[in-house]
Structure 1
Amino acid sequence: MYEEQLNRIRRKLELAAEADPDYQVFGARSHRYKMKQPLQPAELQQFEQTHGVVLPEDYAAFLTGIGNGGAGPYYGIHPLGKKQSMELDGLAQPSHLHPKVGPSGAGGHSELHETNLDSLSDEEYDQYEARMFQGLLNIGEQGCTYETMLVVTGEHRGKVVYLDLDSYRSFFTYEQNFLDWYERWLDETIASYDSSWFGLRRGGDERELESLYSSTADKHVRIEALQGMLKLPEITDEMAAFLKEQCREESGEVSQWALQVLAKMRFDQAEPLLRQKLNGKDNDARLFALQLIRWYMPQGDQRFAEEIVLLLPLETNIEAFRFMTYILDDAGVDLLQLMLPLFNHPLAEFRLQAIYQAGKSTSKEDALPYFTKALEDPDIGVKRIAIQALSNVPEPALLEVYERLLLQHKTGDDYIRSNISRRLQEFAFASMDEVERAVPASLSQVRGMFRASLEPYRRK
């Protein structure tokens, strides 16, 4: 029944390995496009009898016809029943997971995670976890707490689902079954698509995604089609023109996603639209433009630097302010003089970001009074970042300020002492004799910290 598709998969495994000889695709170094030996039919039958379940037919055909684990999305496919993140006692129980939105079989988040987990007792939590896992077979891992599951029972039997074991959020992939999901991964690997978030976006090439977009007025489906384009390695001139048209004619999220795809694929063509949003009065649109500029403008490009310098002191949104500093920093602009006036900003978040960026300057020693004042800031986070910003500034005048801070912060709970210790290690003292000649005895805390760092070397 599945032999034709299995034959395609065998050929495509070889083509995928040829397309990625250096194993640059996420997880490829783990599996290297190699498959384990196929599972014997008797072994498959034994597993099904033991757990009282019949595995989805296409997945079973993969195990017995291609291999019992090996190459696959993320870190590969697990051998049957191995590397399980949960017990298999509930494997035969009906899975209660189903997509939160969209028609049956579409991709989407699950509804089961809507429970407030913090409100559950230990017994209720165990019951919830068992209910979440039942009917699922762990077929792969994505890293951290993210696992790849196959639904083996219930309404959505055969679907591949991604599950976060930390939050228990789950996502139904778009393909109807395991083999379609697996073959799509091979197709995208061969085509050099971005596979870092494989399965979370719609499949298809440019033509298929444009067709999907144009076939519906459903905003959510249109957004999914546009999001799917982000995985493509490039777009045609026709698609670039189509995206610009959608930016002008559509509104809200659809227009934003069209602009994001255009900015990623054809930044020069997105520039006029980004500039319009950057200089408009809509705060959210300005932040969005700044994000796209940061994410997709070529490194070192300075085309937006002049106007961002003018906008910077007027910005009231901390997130937009951060992105402005990131863009200017990426463009090679020394931010010191721009940041110094903001050391006195009424909001601590702005002061913190300004001091952080100023600390990257190669001439920050010339602004030492500003940094010294920042060391006395009432906000502990600002103090801490100011100490960090003074890296590679072993200025003796700072020792008195460090002494006061050490007296104020007698424990390491707020990391003030550990950060001062790093700054003191940058002073060129080779022995306590040198310290005692250069550092006044009144700075007992500073002397003590120097002693703690120098005496272990003397004992050696």
Structure 2
Amino acid sequence: MSLEHLKTKVQDSGINIRPPLSIEEVREFEAQAGISLPVDYVEFITTIANGGFSPCRLSPLADWHYRYDIKRPQPEICLTQPCIITPDAVQHGDKWIDVQNVDRYEERWDNHEWDPLVGTICVAELGCGWVYSLIINGPFVGRIFAYGGGAFLPPQFVEERTFTDWIESSVDKIVDGKHLSFLDGKV
């Protein structure tokens, strides 16, 4: 799938998107954070859309920390930490964080000093506190997962292995007349 073809699909879908960022704005964010964003995500936000306007709930890069429960999330701290979320988290049920052996996570989370979303950015809001997040640090860089259940409901990875595959699959569903509330606002 070419980027131009995906751009045409997004435009044809009627999704209410924001204008793209410049590559300079993205590089400035990466430099401040001390990270590199996945190439396909950068291509999307610099060529097609930097998030959406209501009812589309694609998140702009500036809202990378949406759903983080940290007092003052700073990209150079939050995004340089490896993501603890793994595809097998769902198999561990409400013990999904415990198996990661995160030092004093309950105390740090209660004090708003740590969040299981470190090493990720929000790419879409689902509603009711649920988000789609993109892993940008750790062994599963580039993967998307849904999360919103706090400590007791583990995150669930989407089937698609890349941001581009996930967004294209989602847009295809809208074009086919299906509804995805995070893109078209319909329930």
Compared with structure 1, are the counterparts of its residues 96 and 187 closer, same or farther at alpha carbon in structure 2 (3 Å cutoff)? Answer: same
Does residue 134 of structure 2 align to residue 150 of structure 1?
yes
Residue number in structure 2 paired with 1:79 = 60
Residue ranges of structure 1 left out of the alignment (5+ in a row) = 18-32, 101-107, 199-460
Q: Quick one: percent identity of the two aligned structures?
A: 25
> SS at 1:149's partner residue?
strand
Aligned residue runs from structure 1 range 205-244, under 5 A: none
2:16–2:56: 8 Å Cα contact kept in structure 1?
A: no
1:50-449 aligned within 5 A: 50-70=32-52, 75-82=56-63, 84-86=66-68, 87=73, 88=75, 89-100=77-88, 109=90, 111=92, 113-114=94-95, 115=97, 123-126=107-110, 130=114, 132-166=116-150, 167=152, 169-195=154-180
Partners of 1:122 and 1:195 in 2: CA distance: 34
Contact 1:99–1:111 (Cα < 8 Å) also in 2: no
2:13 to 7, 13, 16: 16
Report the RMSD for the aligned CA atoms in angstroms: 3.1
Contact 1:151 1:158 in 2 (8 A): yes
Q: Provide closer, same or farther for how the CA distance between residues 75 and 125 of structure 1 changes in structure 2, counting only shifts above 3 A.
A: same
Task: Provide the rounded CA distance (Å) in 2 between the counterparts of 1:98 and 1:190.
Answer: 31
What displacement does 1:85 show?
2.1
**Count of residues in correspondence between the two structures:** 169
Aligned-pair CA distance for 1:159? 0.8
TM-score (norm 1): 0.33
The amino acid of 1:149's aligned partner reads: S
Query: Which structure has the higher relative contact order (CA within 8 Å, separation 6+)?
Result: 2
> d(CA) in 2 for partners of 1:99 and 1:38?
30
**Structure 2 residue runs without a partner (length 5+):** 99-103
Letter matched to residue 63 of structure 1: I
More helix by share: 1
Give 1:5 deviation, angstroms.
Answer: 2.5
Secondary structure, aligned partner of 2:174: helix
CA-CA distance at 1:178 after TM superposition: 0.8
**Quick one: structure 1 residues 110 and 179, their matched pair in 2 at CA, closer, same or farther if it must change by over 3 Å?**
farther
Judging changes above 3 Å, is the alpha-carbon distance between structure 1 residues 7 and 94 closer, same or farther for their aligned structure 2 residues?
same
> Could you tell me whether the CA contact under 8 Å between 1:145 and 1:164 is conserved in 2?
yes
Shift of 1:165: 4.7
